[in-house]
Every structure is written in C-alpha cells, then in structure tokens.
C-alpha cells in the first residue's frame, strides 16, 4: 500500500476532481457518474423485475423480488424461475454486452458511429444465420439441427470480427483503418444476405427476416447459461484492461509516455468487444442500435467526455429489457424487440442531441 | 544548379499537377464510354458492335432478326445503361459531398436517412395501396427519401450547435434506425410489402423505363448544378468553420445548399434503383486518393468513378449467373469491398 498519494499538491487546481488510490489502482472520483450509474442500475433492476412480473399470470413486484431472493411461494417459483427468468436474464445479459461492446469500439475508434454493426460482427452473424435458414439443403439443415442457429450465428459473428481485425492489422491497429475495413467486410456480408433473401422462398424469407430484427422470444436456460458465463468472463477482462486504457483518450503518444502499451491494450479490448457482440447476437439476434445508442446516451447523461463503460452496459440492459416489455405488452401486434429498441432509442438520441444544441445557445 | 538538387525528388509544379488531373479525368471519361458501349453489347444475348449500332440507329427493318435486336437495344439495354450512368454519377457525387459536409470520412449518403426514408415509403405504399409495380412506388420512394433528409438536417440544425458534423451524423443514425425499425414492423406484418421490399432493397438498374428515368435525371441534374455551385465554399469549410467565415463564406447557406443537393442526388438515385450501399463511400475515398483534398476535382472524379463502377458491376451481374442476373447493388459490395479493403490496408487513405 502506498501512503503518500492522497496528499494534494499546492500546484493542483482546486477544481480538479479528487483522485482515489487503492494499491496499484487509481481512479478519479466523479460523484455525478457514480450517481448516474446507480440510478441506471436501479432502473435496470426495476424493469428486470417488471419484465418478470408482467404476463398472462401476473405476479406482484414484491413477490417477484422475494422469489428472486429464494423466499417465494412454490407457484411463483415455477413461473419466475422456469418460465420468465430466462427471457429477462437474456435481455439483461445481451443489453449489458451490447452496451459495453459499443462503448469499447466507440472509444477505441474515437468515433461515435463505430458500433459493432460497423465492424461487421452483426452482419457476419446475420449472413450465416440467413444462409442456414434459406438454403434448405441436407448439410445446412443438419448443422442447424445439431448446433443450433445461435451457435452458428456466434461462429459467424466471431469469425467476421476476427477477419476484420486481422485484415486491419498492419504493424498495429489503427482506429480509422479498422472502421474502413469493417465497413467493407460488413458490406460484403450484407450483400450476401440480400442475395440470399432475394433468391429464397418467401416463407423462409419471413423466418429469416424475423431473426434479422432481433428477438428474445423463447430463450431457454441452456442458452442463457452459455451467454452468462461468456459475458461474465469478458466483462472481468474488460474491467481489468480498462484501467490502462484510460490515458489512451489523450492520444497514443501521451499514453505511451505514461507507460501504456497501447497496441496490446487496444487489441485485448477490441477482441473482448467482438466477443461480447457475438455472444449478444447469438443469444438474441442482431438487435440493432443498442450498441450505438447506449454509450452515446450514457455519455451525455453522465456528462463524460468518452463513453463510460459501466453506465453504457447498464443503459443497454435498461433499453433492451424495457423495449422487450413494451414489445410484449403494450403493442397491438407482437413485434420483435429490435423494432422497439430502435423506435425508442433513435428518437431519444435525437432528442439528446437537439437538447444539447439548444443548451449551447 | 548544384548536382545535389537534381538528385532530390523535384516537387511537382502546379501546372504539372493540373495536367495530371486533366489526363486522369479524360481517362475516366474514356473508360465510362467504353463501359457504356460494353453495357449495350453484353447480356443474356451478346451483340456484336455492328448489331448494337444497327439497334441504336436503324429505322424499322423487314428482317425479323434485326427488328428483335433493335427491340433489345432500345427498350432494355439503353435504359439500363443510361440509368446506371446517371445513378452512378449521382451516388458518387453525393458520397463525396456528404463526406465533405459532415467532415466524417465514414459518412455515406445512407447517413442522412435517405435510403431508409425511401424504403419506408416503399413498404408503406405497398401495404396501404397494394402497389406491385416499381413505376408506381418510385415517386413515393423519392418523397420518402427527401422527407427523411430534410427531417435529419432540420433536427441537426436546431439551436446554436447547428450543422456540427458530429450532430448531423448522429441525428442521421438516430432517424435512420428509427425508420428502419418502422420499415421492418410494416414488412413483418404484411407479406406483400416484405416481398416487394426484398427486391427493391437489392438495388437494380433493370426494368425501369424512360418515363421514370427522365424525371429522375432532371432531379439529379438540379442536384449536380447545386453541387457544382457549392464546391468552392466546401473547400473553404474544410479549413475549419472559423477560417471559412473569416474568408466570407455564408456557412449556413452553403451547408443548406449542400444538403439539398445531396438529398436530390441520393434520393433520386435511390428511388429509381433501390439502395445501392457502399458505392458513394468507396468512390469518394478513391477519388480523394487520386486528386487530393480539392473538392473542385474530387467531386467530378467521384461522380465519374461512381458511374464506371456501377456500370461495370451491372455488366458483371449480368454475366456471372446467366441466364439469371445478380443485382448490381449486390455486385458493388462483392467486388468493390475487397478492392477497397486492399487500398485501405496499403494505407492509401487518410482520415478526411
């Protein structure tokens, strides 16, 4: 434990945010960011419980919470744990994964439009899934039967992400090159998807189209368990790598001067972002927009200069579960969750932009 | 003159640079003419140059075979060639302009919501009126594209931070994804519009007649004129807003003209062919690599490149899966993307 670090020097400006140091780890104490994150966490937990409570067999919120902590009645236990929990958990995990993944890619590329969609991960997963749905051959059908559409999509997303990464590698990873390569690979994948859709039978097309929008329908515990453990490991790696990543917002040269091996940190973080996005897509389909909008909204709510990772993940979860809740209950026709995330997230992002513009005047 | 000075690379003079650019422009025009000729000759039925010539200019002929050739050339090959050239120019110029105005090197005309505005209009009119023929919904597509462009630009220019490139790009994404979701919602609940959408979405220059092409060309012509008028101001804007204002550029006016021009170009092209993604983005980068950052050269290069690429992709699409066809929108991505990726990898492009 070091002991001298907390002493403020006379030269430091009084308005500087206070630093906190625990052993080797130090960070800036930003009360507003912590408050926003706490509020978002509470909001995410609330919609999570609501999502479990609402349905054909409504359960009171207090009973949901009691059941979650293992003190519910037997009937509630069955409905909550066996029927509704997988869906709500899938929403939670996918939302966090997409939010964190978006925050990473936007920070690394230093471009707010750089979401996993741009890096081709979602379009690669989609191309593989649509191929399996529309090409009704013996081999494809057998593959779907044995490994499942989700696993195939996971491999597709992961493969495309790695392809983009290795194509963009040239004595290191440069954010701009990464984006451009991502756009071109993504264009190829979308072209393949379009081609498959044009040449396929209309019934298959409707099935593929429904998968392409992203949905939380009919998740099982098995799928959720895989997504949960994958995301947990990845989030732990990300939080470890996030500390050396901080100074990189100041530019590569400054980061190098502060002793950060930026190429390696960036590679680890990007790989995690790719994996997180691939896990999310395999669990829920290519739910659009969460990865783009959650970091941008979190950044504006928390008044940070760069997307904050924790708040982005929480906001992603809030957005996804909330949208799923609306898609299930509030709409006259049942729509996949992806339609609702975009319908809510898009206007909200525009609203934040307009408000920021107005405030500046 | 000392001997050491001779051994250094001599900086090229202004006249030499200009000569190089003029030569490049002529080469592009020549390849455009060649590709157009090829586009008339190639297809499910290959024609010799003499037959193409005959088909273009001969009057009615007693010979049955020649009449048939005349029919193929005049009603099928000529319209799709003209449309590919016009739409290619529009998308190329639109792509270069939007990268200039948003100062975002990954900006695409899709960013203003133009493509999704058109898609949304298409599925909506198919679902509501039951249109099945592209002739009927192309006008709605254009209106949808224009409305989306105006909406995005209008939202991004409320308040003081008006026209901030980042705000424009993000507002564009917000509206784009919203419209995309609405499009999917309609398409998923109405199978007819899903069916119409998937063909329109692929991006094709075939099967559109001159009754659509002439008006579309008119809109694109106006868009091109506006684009030309704004190029000097665009050059100055790229030096930074303060510099441009200091040099007497009316920033609001030139930005508004630019957005109107982009909307006309991309909207008309998209309405006639469906969304052809990636073309504008790609040729804008290639044009910048060839000419440097001067938009008075970059924009014409991007336009001609767009036309050549779209024509070639349409021809390739006719050849690879004969007797069927592969939509040029698909071919653009399949051919263009790897080529573009190689250029990116070799470090040819700088961030705007």
Using one digit for the tens of pLDDT, what is the confidence trace for B119-155? 888 888 888 887 766 667 778 888 888 889 888 888 8
| Rounded CA separation B262/B256 (Å) | 10
Confidence band (pLDDT; 50, 70, 90) for A16?
low
pLDDT attached to residue A64: 79
**Averaged pLDDT, A232-260:** 74
The count of other CB atoms within 10 Å of the CB of residue B349 is 18
Q: State the nearest Cα–Cα gap between B51 and chain A, in angstroms.
A: 33
Would you say residue A2 has pLDDT above 50?
no
- State whether residue B189 sits within 8 Å of chain A by CB: yes
- State whether residue B23 sits within 8 Å of chain A by CB: no
Q: State the nearest Cα–Cα gap between B297 and chain A, in angstroms.
A: 23
Would you say residue A314 has pLDDT above 90?
yes
Question: Which residue intervals of B190-327 are DSSP H helices?
Answer: 191-202, 210-237, 241-246, 251-273, 279-291, 295-320
| Rounded CA separation A189/A198 (Å) | 14
Confidence band (pLDDT; 50, 70, 90) for A31?
confident
* Of the partner residues B155, B198, B351, the one whose CB lies closest to the CB of residue A205: B198
| Rounded CA separation A277/A76 (Å) | 33
**Averaged pLDDT, B331-351:** 79
pLDDT attached to residue B159: 65
Using one digit for the tens of pLDDT, what is the confidence trace for B219-265? 999 999 999 998 888 888 888 778 888 888 888 888 888 888 988 89
C-alpha neighbours within 13 Å on the C-beta side of residue B125: 19
ipTM of the complex: 0.74
**Averaged pLDDT, B310-318:** 91
Name the burial class of residue B11, with classes exposed (0-12), middle (13-18) and buried (19+) by CB atoms within 10 angstroms of its CB.
exposed
Q: DSSP strand E in chain A: where?
A: 19-22, 25-28
| Rounded CA separation A157/B277 (Å) | 21
| Rounded CA separation A220/B184 (Å) | 26
pLDDT attached to residue B3: 44
Mean pLDDT check: name the lowest of A218-222, B77-81, B86-90, B252-256: A218-222
Q: In 3D, which of B295, B225, B226 has the Cα closest to residue B260?
A: B226
| Rounded CA separation A173/A161 (Å) | 14
Running DSSP on this structure, what letter comes out for residue A28?
E
User: A173 pairs with which residues across the strands?
Assistant: none
Q: State the nearest Cα–Cα gap between A205 and chain B, in angstroms.
A: 9
**What contacts 24+ positions apart, CB below 8 Å, involve B318-324?**
B318/B42, B318/B43, B318/B44, B319/B42, B322/B44, B323/B44
CB A108 within 8 A of CB A307: no
pLDDT attached to residue B270: 86
Q: In 3D, which of A216, A211, A213 has the Cα closest to residue A130?
A: A211
Q: What's the token pair of residue A282?
A: 């395999």
Running DSSP on this structure, what letter comes out for residue B276?
-
The count of other CB atoms within 10 Å of the CB of residue B133 is 9
State what percent of residues in chain A have pLDDT above 90: 8
Q: Report the alpha-carbon angle A241-A245-A251, nearest 5.
A: 160
State what percent of residues in chain A have pLDDT above 70: 83
DSSP annotation string for B33-60: HHHHHHHHH-SSS---HHHHHHHHH---
3-class secondary-structure state, position A22: strand
Mean pLDDT of chain A: 79
Mean pLDDT check: name the lowest of A237-251, B65-79, B207-221: A237-251
pLDDT attached to residue B293: 84
Q: What's the token pair of residue A279?
A: 């896990």
Most confident of A184-193, B67-76, B220-229, B260-269: B220-229
A230-245 burial, b at 16+ Cβ within 10 Å, e below that, comes to: bbeebbebbeebbebb
- Which is higher by pLDDT, A118 or A187? A187
The answer to whether the Cβ–Cβ distance between A213 and B178 falls below 8 Å is no
pLDDT attached to residue A165: 84
Using one digit for the tens of pLDDT, what is the confidence trace for B10-66? 556 778 778 888 888 899 999 999 999 888 888 777 777 878 787 777 766 666 777
Using one digit for the tens of pLDDT, what is the confidence trace for B168-214? 777 888 888 888 888 888 887 877 777 777 777 777 777 777 888 88
Would you say residue B218 has pLDDT above 50?
yes
Which residues 305-344 of chain B have a CB within 8 Å of chain A?
Answer: 326-327, 329-334, 336-338, 340-341, 344
Q: In 3D, which of A246, A267, A247 has the Cα closest to residue A258?
A: A247
Is residue B75 within a helix (H) or strand (E), and if so which, with residue range? none
Confidence band (pLDDT; 50, 70, 90) for A27?
low
Tell me which residue has tokens 């994150």: A37
CB A127 within 8 A of CB A192: yes
Using one digit for the tens of pLDDT, what is the confidence trace for A33-70? 888 889 999 998 888 888 888 877 777 777 778 877 77
Which residue is closest to B151 within chain A, CA to CA?
A: A350
**What contacts 24+ positions apart, CB below 8 Å, involve A235-241?**
A235/A96, A235/A100, A235/A276, A235/A313, A237/A268, A237/A272, A238/A100, A238/A104, A238/A269, A238/A272, A238/A276, A238/A309, A239/A309, A241/A265, A241/A268, A241/A269, A241/A272
**Averaged pLDDT, B289-293:** 86
- Which is higher by pLDDT, A173 or B263? B263
The answer to whether the Cβ–Cβ distance between B184 and A354 falls below 8 Å is no
**Contacts (Cβ under 8 Å, ≥6 apart) of A143:** A132, A152
What pTM does this model have? 0.79
pLDDT attached to residue B273: 85
* Of the partner residues B169, B173, B349, the one whose CB lies closest to the CB of residue A180: B349
- State whether residue B156 sits within 8 Å of chain A by CB: yes
CB B220 within 8 A of CB B280: no
| Rounded CA separation B141/B117 (Å) | 7
Q: In 3D, which of B328, B263, B319, B316 has the Cα closest to residue B84?
A: B328
Confidence band (pLDDT; 50, 70, 90) for A247?
low
Q: Which residues of B touch A211 (CB under 8 A)?
A: none
CB B36 within 8 A of CB B81: yes
Using one digit for the tens of pLDDT, what is the confidence trace for A324-338? 888 888 777 777 788
**Averaged pLDDT, B271-289:** 87
């Amino acid at each position: 434990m070091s002991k001298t670090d907390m002493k403020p020097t006379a030269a430091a400006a009084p308005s500087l945010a206070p630093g906190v140091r625990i052993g080797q780890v130090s960070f800036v104490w930003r009360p507003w960011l912590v408050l926003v994150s706490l509020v978002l966490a509470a909001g995410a937990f609330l919609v999570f419980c609501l999502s479990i409570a609402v349905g054909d067999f409504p359960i009171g919120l207090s009973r949901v919470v009691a059941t979650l902590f293992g003190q519910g009645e037997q009937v509630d236990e069955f409905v909550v744990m066996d029927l509704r929990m997988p869906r709500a958990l899938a929403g939670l995990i996918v939302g966090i994964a997409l939010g964190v993944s978006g925050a990473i890619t936007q920070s690394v590329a230093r471009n707010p439009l750089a979401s996993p969609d741009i890096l081709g991960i979602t379009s690669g997963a989609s191309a593989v899934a649509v191929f399996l749905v529309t090409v009704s051959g013996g081999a494809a059908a057998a593959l779907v039967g044995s490994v499942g559409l989700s696993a195939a999509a996971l491999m597709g997303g992961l493969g495309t992400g790695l392809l983009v990464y290795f194509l963009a590698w040239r004595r290191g990873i440069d954010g701009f090159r990464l984006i451009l390569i991502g756009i071109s690979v993504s264009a190829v994948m979308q072209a393949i998807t379009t081609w498959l859709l044009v040449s396929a039978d209309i019934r298959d097309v409707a099935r593929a189209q429904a998968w392409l929008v992203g949905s939380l329908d009919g998740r099982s515990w098995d799928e959720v368990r895989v997504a949960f453990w994958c995301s947990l490991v990845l989030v732990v790696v990300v939080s470890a790598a996030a500390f050396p990543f901080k100074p990189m917002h100041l530019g590569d040269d400054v980061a190098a001067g502060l002793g950060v091996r930026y190429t390696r940190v960036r590679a680890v973080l990007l790989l995690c972002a790719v994996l997180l996005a691939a896990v999310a897509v395999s669990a829920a389909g290519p739910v659009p927009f969460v990865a783009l909008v959650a970091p941008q909204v979190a950044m504006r709510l928390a008044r940070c200069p760069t997307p904050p990772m924790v708040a982005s993940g929480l906001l992603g979860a809030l957005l996804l579960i909330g949208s799923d809740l609306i898609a299930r209950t509030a709409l006259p026709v049942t729509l996949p969750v992806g339609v609702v995330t975009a319908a809510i997230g898009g206007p909200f992002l525009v609203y934040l932009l307009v408000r920021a513009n107005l405030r500046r005047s | 003159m000392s001997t050491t000075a001779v051994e250094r690379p001599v900086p090229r003079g202004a006249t030499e640079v200009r000569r190089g650019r003029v030569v490049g422009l002529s080469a592009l025009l020549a390849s455009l003419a060649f590709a157009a000729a090829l586009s008339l000759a190639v297809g499910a039925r290959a024609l010799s140059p003499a037959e193409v010539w005959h088909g273009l200019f001969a009057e009615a002929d007693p010979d049955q075979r020649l009449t048939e050739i005349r029919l193929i050339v005049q009603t099928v090959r000529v319209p799709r060639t003209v449309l590919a050239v016009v739409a290619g120019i529009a998308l190329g110029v639109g792509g270069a302009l939007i990268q200039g105005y948003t100062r975002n090197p990954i900006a695409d005309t899709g960013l203003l919501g133009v493509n999704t505005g058109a898609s949304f209009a298409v599925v909506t009119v198919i679902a509501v009126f039951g249109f099945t023929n592209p002739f009927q919904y192309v006008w709605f597509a254009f209106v949808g594209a224009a409305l989306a462009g105006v909406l995005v630009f209008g939202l991004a220019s409320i308040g003081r931070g008006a026209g901030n490139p980042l705000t424009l790009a993000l507002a564009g994404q917000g509206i784009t994804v919203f419209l995309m979701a609405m499009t999917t919602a309609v398409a998923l609940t109405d199978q007819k519009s899903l069916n119409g959408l998937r063909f329109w979405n692929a991006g094709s220059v075939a099967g559109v007649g001159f009754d659509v092409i002439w008006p579309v060309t008119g809109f694109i012509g106006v868009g091109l004129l506006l684009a030309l008028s704004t190029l000097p101001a665009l050059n100055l804007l790229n030096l930074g807003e303060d510099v441009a204002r200091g040099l007497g550029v009316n920033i609001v006016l030139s930005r508004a003209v630019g957005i109107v021009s982009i909307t006309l170009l991309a909207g008309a092209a998209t309405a006639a062919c469906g969304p052809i993604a990636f073309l504008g983005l790609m040729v804008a980068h290639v044009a910048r690599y060839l000419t440097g950052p001067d938009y008075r050269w970059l924009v014409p290069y991007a336009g001609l490149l767009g036309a050549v690429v779209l024509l070639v992709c349409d021809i390739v699409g006719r050849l690879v899966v004969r007797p069927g066809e592969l939509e040029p929108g698909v071919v653009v991505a399949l051919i263009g993307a790897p080529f573009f990726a190689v250029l990116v990898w070799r470090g040819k492009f700088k961030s705007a």
